[in-house]
């Protein structure tokens, strides 16, 4: 999917589904369940066994309907792996300017992880599409409010501890989006093939986004 279109999807849904530690055989069913529930942006973390193959297969089947990226991109070698697999965007837990520059040079969106104001500004100046604030819930909403005082020109994505119950709060304080892992991608539901549960869970998250807009 083209970068502009993918970012428009993220702007609409506000949610990046973080997929970590699943088996390759479940990737397509999971993507379909998320898509059926209204979530159209997902990342496969590179520390998931078989991640590159999953990204490739998901691009073949869902690439025109979903924005599919690579997460846990730690360094330039990981960035090349992600690019070769066909990832639409990169997400990192840390601020590595070489990874940010690599993404920019190859026309990919990049969401680098940061925590401190210094890291946030460094990531933004290096070319970040938006800055991932991690760990989001541990830092707390008060931290986000204070951070956005002087840095409200920098789009931020909250990741870590986000669930359907607090998602709206992060959006209302000014976050451009959120990354959601275990509270959305339930391992027990995946293991038992309860894709309707994943779909319904995704719908709850989308509803929370809609409610935050109407609040």
CA distances from 113 to 15, 103, 149 (A): 16, 14, 19
Residue 129: its H or E element: none
Phi, psi of 81 (to 5 degrees): -60, -45
Residue 76: its H or E element: helix 76-85
- Name the packing angle between helices 97-105 and 76-85 (round to 10°): 30
Tell me, yes or no, if 108 is annotated catalytic: no
3-class secondary structure, 48: coil
Annotated active-site residue in 43, 61, 108, 203:
43
Annotated active-site residue in 23, 25, 97, 132:
132
Contact (Cβ atoms closer than 8 angstroms) between residue 31 and residue 21: no
Tell me, yes or no, if 132 is annotated catalytic: yes
Whole-number Å distance between alpha carbons of 207 and 76: 37
Known catalytic residues are 43, 132
């Amino acid at each position: 999917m083209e970068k502009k279109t993918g970012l428009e999807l993220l702007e609409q849904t506000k949610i990046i589904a973080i997929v970590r530690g699943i088996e390759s055989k479940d990737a397509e069913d999971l993507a379909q369940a998320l898509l059926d529930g209204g979530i159209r942006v997902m990342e496969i973390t590179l520390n998931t066994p078989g991640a590159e193959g999953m990204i490739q297969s998901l691009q073949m089947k869902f690439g025109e309907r979903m924005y599919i990226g690579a997460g846990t991109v730690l360094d330039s070698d990981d960035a090349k792996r992600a690019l070769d697999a066909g990832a639409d965007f990169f997400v990192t837990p840390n601020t590595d300017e070489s990874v940010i520059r690599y993404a920019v040079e190859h026309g990919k969106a990049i969401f680098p992880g940061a925590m401190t104001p210094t890291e946030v500004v460094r990531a933004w100046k290096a070319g970040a599409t938006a800055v991932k604030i991690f760990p989001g819930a541990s830092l707390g909403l008060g931290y986000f409010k204070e951070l956005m005082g002087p840095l409200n020109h920098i789009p931020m994505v909250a990741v870590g501890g986000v669930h359907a119950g607090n998602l709206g709060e992060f959006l209302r304080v000014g976050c451009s989006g959120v990354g959601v892992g275990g509270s959305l991608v339930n391992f027990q539901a995946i293991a038992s093939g309860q894709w309707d549960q994943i779909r319904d869970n995704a719908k709850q998250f989308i509803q929370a986004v809609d409610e935050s807009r109407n609040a």
